[in-house]
Amino acid sequence: MEKVVLVVMDGIGFSEKVVGNAVKEAKTPLLDKLFSSCPYTLLKAHGQAVGLPSDDDMGNSEVGHNAIGCGQVYSQGAKLVNENIESGQIFSSPTWVELVSNCRINNSTIHFIGLLSDGNVHSNISHLFALLRQSKLEGIRRARIHILLDGRDVPATSALSYVDSLEEELSKLNDKNFDGKIASGGGRMKITMDRYNANWNMVKEGYDIHVKGKGRFFPTAKDAIETFRKEKLGIVDQDLPGFVIAEKGTPVGRIEDNDSVILLNFRGDRAIEISRALAEENFCVFEREDHPKIKFAGMLQYDGDLKIPEKFLVLPPQIKNTLSEFLVNRGIRQYAVSETQKFGHVTYFWNGNRLGKFSERLETFEEIPSDNVSFDERPWMKSAEVADAVISAINSDKFDFIRCNFPNGDMVGHTGSFFSTIIAVEAVDLALSRIIKAVDEKELTLLITADHGNADEMLEPNKKGELQPRTAHSLNKVPFIIYGNKESVIKEGTFGLSNIASTVTQIMGLGKDPTWDEAIIK
């Protein structure tokens, strides 16, 4: 049986454009050599190819790893919520009925917390509008919105356009029977949206701002954003400090006893921690001080194994027949490694949003702790340590399938620092050059791909036509390179990330699951 190593170069897409392309600007002697000497193709990693509503929607690491790991395309994130809203199913769900009834019975407030953008990676502002309209229709009298500013999945300084859209929607809804206001907010990388237990202080700060109204007061969200931009020149939306909207010295939207609270985000990784802080009865990570008794729900259930949160509005995709399960059923030993920032992607998301393993005996997971610093300051991140771990796994002869993720292109790309991202891409190339030596010594097959683009498109024109930093993912295809397997011949046609699973098992001589998409090779 052929053993396979699969490397995911997170955020390193393919584009022929030169301007703003950190992948082309980087010195990548190994990748250059592989492109000139190995079979390769380009895969779709966005839009309908990964289960999103349209090909205008950027891919992301979660849906990307779902597609790679399960070998098929499921309705994901925004598409799943869209379908539930369009059908009205979300408004007949037991959770929605319970939260609305709670507000009506207690004459209390419904709160919405979430990322305010249409990036379709974590949330979509249209979902907030639909829930606000339905809240008013069903007799709720007060709504408060706690906005998290994006600038990561959308243009870096676009927050005011989304705030304006929300204020316009509220002005249409507000009357003597309905009172809707923005209550608090802050940048997604400063408050609330931590992941993988990397920085619980972000969550505590967000909790205090949203729930307690503890923060810097402003009369409007627009005032807050404009003030911070004047005080911190060059700051992008994702890094804006937290703020509280107040009238006459009093917060307009503290979360209080008997209120209902909905977390609008549909993506799980950056929703789990704040869900725990808001909903867990015996929460003890930080002091919550007289935590109000509320009804809480997520847009989706973000962790099915740990039931976080217990109540949610939309059932997540029920992903079955994953690559890991297929291999476990055939006694194949697997190893997965990344640093903290993407560890969940090669484990939880890869395994179909499953936290645990299919087999403790056959699956080994290793997490390399990420540095808690801005990624543009150390763009090499933990690439050397991840490479060390992969090489050790190869040399151990214990594993038949090894997978890893290098987060550099994505995490550093999101900072908007072009020169740091060049270094990040070069660090991945260097790590690959070390791994390939071990692959050669053991005569394995190495597959190299990415989950979406980012580092490949880092500049975009503003309204004046001037180039400005781009921090969002790109719509570009991603490479799929086959090294060390001379028998592999790539088919003609258009393929996506979901075609990788059957390619892996075909190279290993195991056939494929009948539910999977076809292999990329003949």
Same domain, residue pair 283 and 363: no
Both 67 and 88 in a single domain? no
pLDDT of residue 439: 98
- Candidate ranges 76-80, 163-167, 194-198; pick with highest mean pLDDT: 163-167
Residues 443 and 302 in one domain: no
Residue 458, by phi and psi: left (phi above 0), alpha (psi -120 to 50) or beta?
Answer: alpha
292 pLDDT more than 70: yes
Residue 133 falls within a domain, yes or no? yes
- Please state whether beta strands 217-218 and 312-314 pair in parallel, antiparallel, or not at all (unpaired): unpaired
Residue finishing a domain among 285, 314, 343: 314
Give the count of domains, the chain.
Answer: 2
Alpha-carbon distance of 240 to 188, in angstroms, equals: 8
Coil, helix or strand at residue 29: helix
Region 435-448 average pLDDT: 98
- Assign 463 a pLDDT band (cuts: 50, 70, 90): low
- Which residue, of 260, 292, 314, is where some domain finishes? 314
Position 485 in a domain: yes
Summarised one tens digit per residue, pLDDT across range 213-254 is 999 999 999 999 999 999 999 999 999 999 999 999 999 999
Q: Do 95 and 44 belong together in one domain?
A: no
User: Do 347 and 468 reside in the same domain of the chain?
Assistant: yes
Q: Determine which one of 61, 324, 417, 420 is catalytic.
A: 61
Over the range 165-174, which residues count as b (16 or more CB within 10 Å of their CB) and which as e?
A: bbeebbeebe
Q: How confident is the model at residue 289 (pLDDT cuts 50, 70, 90)?
A: confident
Q: Which residue has the higher pLDDT, 157 or 302?
A: 157
In a domain, 117, yes or no: yes
**Rounded distance, CA 222 to CA 160, Å?**
7
Is pLDDT above 60 for 305? no
21 and 139 part of one domain: no
332, part of any domain: yes
Residue ending a domain, choose from 263, 293, 314:
314
What's the confidence (pLDDT) of residue 451? Answer: 97
Q: What are 245's strand-pairing partners?
A: 218
Rounding to the nearest 10 degrees, give the CA dihedral for residues 305, 310, 316, 322: 0
Which residues have a Cβ under 8 Å from the Cβ of 427 and sit 6 or more positions away?
Answer: 379, 380, 381, 383, 384, 406, 408
Percentage of residues of the chain with pLDDT beyond 90: 88
Structure tokens belonging to residue 151: 């600038």
Closest-CA residue to 298 (of 314, 283, 284, 282): 314
pLDDT for 297 beyond 60: yes
Say if 522 falls within a structural domain.
Answer: no
Q: Are residues 274 and 168 in the same domain?
A: yes
515, part of any domain: no
Query: Does residue 421 fall inside a structural domain?
Result: yes
pLDDT in tens, 323-339: 999 999 999 999 999 99
Question: Which CATH number goes with the domain that contains 233?
Answer: 3.40.1450.10
Beta strands (DSSP E) in 22-70 are 40-44
Is the confidence at residue 304, as pLDDT, over 80? no
Query: Position of tokens 């060049």?
Result: 422
Question: pLDDT tens-digit profile of 202-212?
Answer: 999 999 999 99
Instruction: Supply the mean pLDDT for the chain.
Output: 95
In a domain, 481, yes or no: yes
For residues 243 and 332, membership in a common domain is answered with: no
Residue 278 shares a structural domain with residue 340: no
- Read off the amino acid at residue 240: L
R_g of the chain computed on alpha carbons: 23
Catalytic annotation on 275? no
| Pairwise pLDDT comparison (512 vs 355), residue with the higher score | 512
Token pair 């935590």 in the structure block, residue: 291
Residue 355 vs residues 71, 307, 404, 492: alpha-carbon distances, Å:
18, 11, 17, 36
At 253-272, the pLDDT tens digits run: 999 999 999 999 998 889 99
| pLDDT above 90 for 315 | no
Under 8 Å between Cβ of 188 and 162: no
- CATH number of the domain that residue 466 is part of: 3.40.720.10
Gap between the Cα atoms of 349 and 388, Å rounded: 23
Instruction: Indicate if 192 and 53 belong to the same structural domain.
Output: no
Residues 410 and 431 in one domain: yes
Lowest-confidence range among 158-162, 317-321, 337-341, 402-406? 317-321
**Residue 260 sits in the same domain as residue 362:** no
Query: How many other C-beta atoms are found inside a 10 Å radius of the C-beta of residue 190?
Result: 18
- Which residue range is the domain that position 211 belongs to? 78-314
